[in-house]
Chains A and B, each alone.
Chain A
Amino acid sequence: MKPNLTIAPILFHWNAERKLEFYARIADEAPVDVVYLGEIICSKRTPFFENHYDEVAERLVRGGKTVVFSTLAEVMLKRERNMIAGFCDLEDFELEINDSSALWHLDDKSYRVGSLMNVYNEDTMAYLVAKGATHFTLPAELPRDSIAILAAHAKELGATTEVQVFGRVSLALSARCYHARAHGRIKDNCQFVCEEDMDGMPLNTLDGEEFLTVNGIQTLSHSYLNLLDDMDDMKEMGVTHFRLVPHTQDMVAVANIFREALDDTVSAEESSEKLTALDIPAPFSNGFWNGRPGHQWVGEV
Chain B
Amino acid sequence: MNRPELVCPAGTPSAMRTAVEAGADAVYCGFQNATNARNFPGLNFTVPELEKSVRHAHNGGTKVLLAVNTFPPAGKVDLWKEAVDTGAKLGVDAFIVADIGVADYIAKNYPDIRLHLSVQAAASTPEAIKFYCREFNIKRVVLPRILTVPEIKTMADEIPCEIETFIFGNHGLMVEGRCSLTNYITGLSTNMDGVCSPAAQIQYIKDDSGNLTTKLGEFTIDCFSCDENAGYPTICKGRYLTPAHDGAYYAFEEPISLNLSTLLPDLMAAGVTALKIEGRQRSRAYVKSVVTAYRKAVDNIMAGHNPEISDLLALTEGQKETQGAFKSKAWR
CA distance A272 to B174 in the complex (A): 35
| CB-based closest 3 A-B pairs | A123-B101, A175-B146, A294-B184
B interface size (C-beta, 8 A):
73
What is the chain B residue whose CB lies nearest that of A153? B74
B104 within 8 A of A: yes
Query: Given contacts A128-B100, A295-B184, is CB(A209)–CB(B124) below 8 Å?
Result: no
CA distance A65 to B177 in the complex (A): 33
Question: CB-CB < 8 A to B244: which residues of A?
Answer: 182-183, 193, 196, 201
Distance from A277 Cβ to chain B, minimum over Cβ atoms (Å) = 27
B303 within 8 A of A: no
Q: Is the CB of B241 within 8 A of A204?
A: yes
Q: Is the CB of A176 within 8 A of B241?
A: no
Q: Is the CB of B100 within 8 A of A124?
A: yes
A221 within 8 A of B: yes
Q: Is the CB of B128 within 8 A of A75?
A: yes
Q: Is the CB of A294 within 8 A of B74?
A: no
Q: Is the CB of A186 within 8 A of B128?
A: no
What is the chain A residue whose CB lies nearest that of B201? A293
Question: CB-CB < 8 A to A187: which residues of B?
Answer: 332
Q: Is the CB of B128 within 8 A of A103?
A: yes
Question: What are 21 contact pairs spanning A and B, CB under 8 A?
Answer: A75-B124, A100-B123, A104-B134, A120-B73, A121-B75, A122-B77, A122-B101, A147-B74, A175-B175, A178-B252, A187-B332, A196-B244, A204-B241, A205-B241, A206-B223, A212-B181, A212-B240, A219-B252, A287-B187, A293-B185, A293-B187
Question: CB-CB < 8 A to A177: which residues of B?
Answer: 332
Question: CB-CB < 8 A to A182: which residues of B?
Answer: 242, 244-245, 249, 251
CA distance A138 to B75 in the complex (A): 15
Extra 6 A-B pairs, beta carbons < 8 Å, given A126-B101, A172-B178, A212-B240: A104-B128, A118-B178, A131-B135, A172-B181, A173-B175, A219-B181
Q: Is the CB of A124 within 8 A of B248?
A: no
Query: Given contacts A172-B178, A174-B252, A204-B240, is CB(A186)–CB(B223) below 8 Å?
Result: no
Distance from B20 Cβ to chain A, minimum over Cβ atoms (Å) = 33
Q: How large is the interface on A (under 10, 10 to 19, 20 to 34, 35 or more residues)?
A: 35 or more
B168 within 8 A of A: no
Cβ-neighbour of A203 out of B187, B217, B241 (below 8 A): B241
Question: CB-CB < 8 A to B121: which residues of A?
Answer: 100
B131 within 8 A of A: yes
Cβ-neighbour of A208 out of B76, B181, B235, B241 (below 8 A): B241
What is the chain A residue whose CB lies nearest that of B180? A141
Distance from A198 Cβ to chain B, minimum over Cβ atoms (Å) = 14
Distance from B186 Cβ to chain A, minimum over Cβ atoms (Å) = 6
CA distance A127 to B101 in the complex (A): 7
Question: CB-CB < 8 A to A145: which residues of B?
Answer: 74-75
Residue from A118, A139, A140, A203 whose CB has the most chain B CB atoms within 10 Å: A118
Question: CB-CB < 8 A to B192: which residues of A?
Answer: 120, 141
Q: Is the CB of B245 within 8 A of A209?
A: no
What is the chain A residue whose CB lies nearest that of B249? A182
A214 within 8 A of B: yes
Distance from B113 Cβ to chain A, minimum over Cβ atoms (Å) = 18
A18 within 8 A of B: no
Distance from B174 Cβ to chain A, minimum over Cβ atoms (Å) = 5
List B residues 143-186 near A (Cβ within 8 Å): 144, 146-147, 151, 173-175, 177-181, 183-186
Q: Is the CB of A181 within 8 A of B183?
A: no
Distance from A78 Cβ to chain B, minimum over Cβ atoms (Å) = 9
Q: Is the CB of A294 within 8 A of B180?
A: yes
Residue from A80, A103, A126 whose CB has the most chain B CB atoms within 10 Å: A103
CA distance A145 to B131 in the complex (A): 30
Question: CB-CB < 8 A to A100: which residues of B?
Answer: 121-123, 128, 131-132
Question: CB-CB < 8 A to B217: which residues of A?
Answer: 293
Q: Is the CB of A101 within 8 A of B243?
A: no
CA distance A103 to B126 in the complex (A): 12
What is the chain B residue whose CB lies nearest that of A150? B74
Q: Is the CB of A173 within 8 A of B174?
A: yes
